[in-house]
Structure 1
Amino acid sequence: MSEKKSYAYFVGGIVICLLGSVFFSTKAIFVKLAYREATVDAITLLALRMLFSLPFFAISAFVASKKTDNVRFTGQQWLGVAVVGCLGYYASSLLDFLGLQYISAGIERLVLFVYPTLVLLMSALVFRSKISPQQWLALIITYGGLFVAFWGEARVEGQSPDFYKGAALIFVCAVTYAMYIVGSGRLIPVVGAAKFNSYAMSFAGIAVLVHFFITSSSSLWNQDASTYLYSFLMAIFGTIIPSYLVTEGIKRVGSSNAAIVGSIGPVSTILQAYFFLQEPIHALQIAGTILILIGVLMISRKKAK
């Protein structure tokens, strides 16, 4: 691959990561809307999300396995895909849905987006990956933007007793999602982005449904109409589309850069929360948005190897 094509491939990966992050940020909006308009618990809402998503991922996995260039998973790869998938879209999603019962969509993004730092630290400690000076600088700028954007809101929300409970749940979610990003960054180059995503999401969907049927006394077939609507929209726009965008982005730019670029997610959530949830937006949030975009642009200018 020529240097020009290689750079275009890398920048294309940055754009794909950005789109994936924006689509993923719609999930918190749909969850908050569902909680607002109907009485539904976290595991039921998550189960409905996966119920709508699972058929697509199962069919996609079947199609990928029938391709002429398909390479069968080894036993270790099967285990890796299952564990990583459940970390990213079962454990993380459940913790996220539980936390969103107690804190706003904006604060959820603030706490969740400590995960890029966790990704870099995990990669450095476990796989001895080198953290470049540009990555450190981009992290400082993006996290400076996040601090500026959410500082005022966090001070207000922090007065609620349930705030700390919700924030703790989202922080653990960030840890498990960072594990997913690191693990997927190692598996995707070996097994392929689309195939990995299809099987990982299928394993996660099955895990969620098993959890629901074991622990819940609710019925998936007797919910409010708005719950089905938001679950379906969450499945399409907050799960299926962004999951493939993110895995393709990780394939192109690597897990560490994908995590940093994903910092645009809080900005997207602020704007969507303003329009759809009437959560206030302040001048500090606009200033933080500018800083985050500067950090993302710095990453996009990084030359591909």
Structure 2
Amino acid sequence: MTRSLATAIGFTAILMWALLALFTVGSGPVPPLQLNAICFSIGGAIGLIWCAARPGGFARMIAPGWKVIAFGTAGLFGYHFFYFSALRVAPPAQAGLVAYLWPLLIVLLSGLLPGERLRAGHVLGAITGFVGAALLISKGGAGLSAEWAKGYALAFACALTWSSYTVLSRRLGAAPSEVVTLFCLASALLSAVAHLALEETAWPHDGLGWASMLALGLGPVGLAFYVWDIGVKRGNIQLLGTASYAAPLLSTLVLVLAGVAKPTEWLAASALLITLGAVLAARASARAPKLSSPAG
């Protein structure tokens, strides 16, 4: 697999994450951790089917050992746990802005990886993209308030968890992507336990709600993790990190097309900044010397 193809595969995760908000709205009254448990169960089932269809798939799934499995589970479950907790104690828009520091952190932390070089274009592109994401999520609001410090701290923990998981996944390049199956199944179990302890069970009211919940598990909280794993291990991790800023933009566009949100001047400004950030990062990556991809 070439580095360009792996990067393209990883980008499909960003496209799926763009549908996260729409499907979450459609899933109705199902509480976050319960939804998490159901979706990760579906995602784990996808992995089991994939492993069954590939010779030696189950052997590769368990080959990395418990340390790698624990690491991946902490990344997937930890991100969602911190994210949903942050939105419980802080305004969602502002907490979401802090949580969306993770693409910037991916680009910056990736410079610490062997064989990678952080260039000025990567940093400038990441910062430009973050400004665009900030405009999009805050929608021109007055900014963050110290009143919600606990929520912002949880949101930052969310960003740090996912960016660290993504960058460190590159160091685990020898771990086959089949192991993501166990990440999903373990995250589903932890989410179910947390749900029983913290939430009241609720189910969708209609067919649209059930379809949205199924779509979440098949895409944004399922297949997306498998293709993301391929992208960050074998592709251009810095370009993927900056391209991740497209997620809030595409998510908003989907909501506009679905009639859930209205287009604003902030959307246009964000589109320009996010696109410019991606172009800057892409130019920096194109000028970088070609390096061999790690096996995975």
Q: Normalising by structure 1, report the TM-score.
A: 0.76
Q: Are 1:32 and 2:25 counterparts?
A: yes
Structure 2 portions without partners, runs of 5+: 292-296
8 Å CA contact retained: 1:14, 1:261: no
8 Å CA contact retained: 1:84, 1:179: no
CA distance in 2, matches of 1:107, 1:13: 33
8 Å CA contact retained: 1:42, 1:94: no
Name the structure 1 match of 2:294.
none
CA distance in 2, matches of 1:30, 1:96: 17
Deviation, structure 1 residue 279: 3.0
CA pair 79-256 structure 1, distance change in 2 beyond 3 A: farther
Comparing 17-26 and 107-116, the one that deviates more: 107-116
CA distance in 2, matches of 1:218, 1:99: 18
SS for the counterpart of 1:259 is helix
Q: Paired residue for 1:155, among 142, 163, 183?
A: 142
CA distance in 2, matches of 1:108, 1:240: 24
Deviation, structure 1 residue 206: 2.8
SS for the counterpart of 1:278 is coil
CA distance in 1, matches of 2:200, 2:236: 41
8 Å CA contact retained: 2:39, 2:214: yes
> Residue type of the partner of 1:17?
G
Q: Are 1:97 and 2:84 counterparts?
A: yes
CA distance in 1, matches of 2:246, 2:51: 29
Within a 5 Å distance, the mapping from 1:100-139 to structure 2 comes to 100=87, 103-104=91-92, 109-123=96-110, 130-139=117-126
Name the structure 2 match of 1:144.
131
CA distance in 1, matches of 2:51, 2:189: 14
Name the structure 2 match of 1:205.
188
Q: Are 1:190 and 2:171 counterparts?
A: no
Per-residue CA distance 1:99-154 (angstroms, 9 max, x = gap): 455645x6565332211332345455687964222211221322232344445443
CA pair 223-280 structure 1, distance change in 2 beyond 3 A: closer
SS for the counterpart of 2:118 is coil
CA pair 168-25 structure 1, distance change in 2 beyond 3 A: farther
Aligned residues: 285
Name the structure 2 match of 1:175.
160
CA distance in 1, matches of 2:58, 2:185: 22
CA distance in 2, matches of 1:244, 1:112: 22
Deviation, structure 1 residue 23: 0.7
> Residue type of the partner of 1:44?
Q
Within a 5 Å distance, the mapping from 1:201-240 to structure 2 comes to 201-213=184-196, 215=197, 218-219=200-201, 224-225=205-206, 227-240=209-222
Deviation, structure 1 residue 169: 3.5
CA distance in 2, matches of 1:248, 1:126: 17
CA distance in 2, matches of 1:82, 1:69: 14
Name the structure 2 match of 1:247.
229
Name the structure 1 match of 2:249.
267
SS for the counterpart of 2:171 is helix
> Residue type of the partner of 1:78?
G
Deviation, structure 1 residue 91: 1.5
8 Å CA contact retained: 2:20, 2:216: yes
SS for the counterpart of 1:85 is helix
> Percent of aligned positions with the same letter in both sequences?
17
- As a proportion of its length, which structure holds more helix? 1
SS for the counterpart of 1:191 is coil
Per-residue CA distance 1:275-305 (angstroms, 9 max, x = gap): 3463343223212212212222333342342
CA distance in 2, matches of 1:180, 1:277: 34
Q: Are 1:292 and 2:274 counterparts?
A: yes
Name the structure 2 match of 1:54.
44
Per-residue CA distance 1:168-188 (angstroms, 9 max, x = gap): 44332112111211221211x
SS for the counterpart of 1:91 is helix
CA pair 232-241 structure 1, distance change in 2 beyond 3 A: same
CA distance in 1, matches of 2:45, 2:271: 37
Deviation, structure 1 residue 246: 1.3
Structure 1 portions without partners, runs of 5+: 1-5
Q: Are 1:42 and 2:32 counterparts?
A: yes
